[in-house]
Amino acid sequence: MNRDDQDRIFTYLITSAKGCVEEPPLYGPLRLLEAYSMLLGMLKREETDEFYFELDKKIEDFKNKCMGDEKQFVEGLDQALESLTNYIINK
């Protein structure tokens, strides 16, 4: 993680923490998912498992649903978590 990456993730996390005090509740999970994508983007492909990049694509598909379709957003989260659990159990 270079210095620019550090600036990005640290400011994102702290600014989001303050924002979550007043923002809509579903923005909290959204920020965590964004942080996941951001951290993943800071890794080189060979530094982690391909699964995490695939998971990121799935997350990208439902992430913005939190602004209009809470049900689909939560379903997407459940599916992502189920997929992650299966991956951890079977690796």
Token look-up 């079977």 returns 90
**Residues contacting other proteins: total by CB under 8 A:** 15
Judged by beta carbon, residue 23 or residue 49, the one nearer other proteins is: 23
Residue 23 touching other proteins (CB under 8 A): yes
Contact 29, 77 (CB under 8 A): yes
Q: Please, is 26 exposed, middle or buried when counting C-beta atoms within 10 Å of its C-beta (0-12, 13-18, 19+)?
A: middle
**Among 23-31, 43-51, 52-60, 73-81, the segment contacting other proteins (CB under 8 A):** 23-31
**In this chain, which of 1, 2, 5, 15 binds other proteins, going by CB under 8 A?**
15
Closest CA to 30 of 2, 68, 1: 68
Residue 81 touching other proteins (CB under 8 A): no
